[in-house]
Amino acid sequence: SSPHLVQVRERIRINGQPISKELFSKYFWLVYNRLEETKDPAHASMPAYFRFLTIMAFHVFLQEKVDLAVVEVGIGGAYDCTNIIRAPVVCGVSSLGIDHTSILGDTMEKIAWQKGGIFKPGVPAFTVLQPERPLQVLRDRAQELECPLYLCPELDAFEGGHRVLELGLAGAHQRSNAALALQLARTWLQHRGCWGLGELKELPPGTELAGRSVPLAPAFQPTDAMIQGLRDTEWLGRTQVLPHGPVTWYLDGAHTTSSVQACVRWFRQAALNQDKP
């Protein structure tokens, strides 16, 4: 994941924790020296910063024999250096926003085209509620790449009855992220042979998606581990409240119009809750 908040090791995590300084140093020099030994003499430069760390992350995951690697793109998707995995288990596209316009384009539709570039033939993909035109682009990309695309239901659909899912990350916008995470986790579990969490209807490759809504993925009863995972998730620098003596700091890394708007809504609610006796 990127970017990091304090130190670069945060970008490569195993079981939720940044790899140790010893492991980072070990694999950094192993990858660096191997690239140095095998690089094309006609192209003397090494891979750029993010590309190098991506190569290193893949190497770490392989050497440490992780069961599951969650890989976040750096910028966009279609031409991102992380987009070399030919057969991922599942793909996810979160809420779209205007960012990196010099690379991805200056409209939501152009950015959606780039994001849809991570779709793979026959690999299920999920997205959250998007504006209609960008969603149309994602539908078209899914059809083009023969990818079964599904829309995540709202988190309310997973709660049912009187059970409310508690999120460790504050802010209403995190509810759509949580719904997406649940669908990705369910797909992985089914890939490992764990059934009974709501089945997707098979979409044959090339299924016509344009002109109609993206199929809605089924909601399901989250497992106890999923419920705990949502509750215990923390991400420093994301909707973080940091009391320090008489001063309370509200921290977030929002940097796009839509994310700043979401941050403002979170801050207003958090400040109101803080003022309550």
Domain ranges of the chain: 1-69, 72-234, 237-277
For 109, the token pair is 């539709």
Distance CA 224, CA 40 (A): 51
Integer angstrom CA distances of residue 104 from 53, 62, 92, 216, 261: 21, 30, 18, 28, 21
CATH number of 72-234: 3.40.1190.10
State yes or no: cis peptide before 3, omega within 30 of 0.
yes
Instruction: Evaluate whether 46 touches 39 at the Cβ level (below 8 Å).
Output: yes
Q: Which residue did the predictor score with more confidence, 112 or 162?
A: 112
28 CB-contact burial (10 Å; exposed 0-12 / middle 13-18 / buried 19+): middle
Number of neighbouring beta carbons within 10 Å of residue 231: 11
Closest C-alpha to 176, from 92, 264, 120? 92
Tell me the pLDDT of the chain averaged across its residues. 90
pLDDT at 187 over 60: yes
Distance CA 135, CA 36 (A): 43
pTM, to two decimals: 0.89
Out of 20-24, 184-188, 272-276, pick the least confident.
Answer: 272-276
pLDDT computed for residue 203 by the predictor: 57
